Amino acid sequence: MTVPVFEEYEPAIDCGCAGCAVRRRSAARALPVGRGGHPAAHGARRALVLATAAGVVLSCGAAGASAAAGYVPLAPRADGGADPEPATPQGEKGPLRGAGASGPPSAGSAAPKTTRAEIIDRAKRWVSAKVPYSMEKYWSDGYRQDCSGYVSMAWNLGSNEWTGSLAAYGTRIARADLQPGDILLFHNPADPSEGSHVTIFGGWTDSTRTRYVAYEQARPRTRKQSTPLAYWNNSDRYVAYRYKGVTGGSPGSGSSTAFPGAEQFGPGTKSDHVTQLGRMLVQRGGERFYAVGPGPVWTAADQRATQAFQRAQGWQGEEADGLPGPHTWHLLATGDGRNIPAAGAGGSPNTAVAFPGRGYFKPGQSNSHVDRLGEQLVKKGYGKHYVSGPDPRWTEADRRNVEAFQRAQGWRGGAADGYPGPETWRRLFA
């Protein structure tokens, strides 16, 4: 093996690049000290620096760039939460580690097929495992523990990709057409270690479509949280992509998450949306309600399965009438909420605090549900507007406390009006 030849040089005084900055610091530390504490003049000005050229070539691309730039990782917040604007420099593209994979697929190989549900299921595994963020380490499944490794895992790719290569596995789509399993990607070609990031779209959080459920690998660990579209920073530079190997759902339709309208469901209706509803209900435990499987014609089976799903969320009365509304559709499409319990397994585990209906929460009402709501708001830390504590009478203090809780979920406008609905109730008593 030929020994690398290192060249003697003097770092440029006026050069602002990261490499020269590191070299100047290295040279300064190497200067001998003369009398009076000043660097010895003779020979020190042209000290031999053996650090950078070969090191950059031999190290990981983006990792070396971030080190040369003096990157300092963000420390975890004192309250134990994750910083909302994580710095996530990327590791380079490479084979899986420790998972028996031979390396990245060839350029002509097709993207492995997968479903949206499988993508989200895989994403949830890392959330549950609280996988720590790392550019250099690999989880037990062979995927690198940074954000692009996380997407490579969720998309079930045969390699660890990076933000500069993930787009090749996807098709660019409009943000309005995002469906669960799609990604929002920002790659900074000028400096990949500065701001580049990618998240997995898990569904819209409300009808305004200004926030979404983001699955992401960020410091200190994998997380799932409501996130402003497209991200906390560099929002206008994120691009939406759909994995080329995903099956189910028509590209660009957005039908998986967008509620098609109440007129599409009920006696006498016939549409592909009814079929889609039935398939989602079957996936959530409603198979026993269908004798021959879901179809485009609305039947009593669709209504019974929908009602079973609604009751599994703890809803009653008009909130569990068996006809899907925007919230029922959202929970089904995003995989959130509770599944339909098996026959004979009993009702929802949340029966003791089932949502009683909107009519109990308005001016002039006085009942035990208002009192229970107030007590739960205080328990959750949203009782600052009470002067003497909650009681059975609905007051403006109740409304303002509910509004504060709703806004904390990222909701705005009519979704944060201070009047509890089934989703507000579910999250309060979760």
- pLDDT tens digits along 126-180: 999 999 999 889 999 999 999 999 999 999 998 999 998 999 999 998 888 889 9
Band (420; pLDDT cuts 50, 70, 90): very high
Question: 52: closest CA among 6, 98, 91, 105?
Answer: 6
Which tokens hold the place of 100?
Answer: 């028996």
Q: Average pLDDT over the chain, rounded to whole?
A: 75
Burial (CB count <10 Å: 0-12, 13-18, 19+), residue 357: middle
Residue 21 scores a pLDDT above 90: no
Q: Classify 369 as helix, strand or coil.
A: helix
Work out the average pLDDT over 404-429. 90
Residue 252 scores a pLDDT above 60: no
**Amino acid at the residue 107:** A
Please state which of the ranges 124-133, 189-198, 262-271, 394-403 shows the lowest mean pLDDT: 189-198
Band (323; pLDDT cuts 50, 70, 90): very high
The helix (H) or strand (E) run that includes residue 65 is: helix 61-68
Please say whether the dihedral angle defined by the alpha carbons of residues 244, 245, 250 and 256, taken in this order, is positive or negative: negative
Residue 89 is predicted with a pLDDT of: 61
Which tokens hold the place of 248?
Answer: 């189910």
Work out the average pLDDT over 406-424. 90
Residue 59 is predicted with a pLDDT of: 31
CA of 129: how far to CAs of 120, 151, 160, 212, in Å?
14, 16, 19, 22
For residues 112 and 121, the answer to whether their CB atoms sit within 8 Å is no
Residue 424 scores a pLDDT above 80: yes
End-to-end Cα distance, the chain: 64
For residues 382 and 408, the answer to whether their CB atoms sit within 8 Å is yes
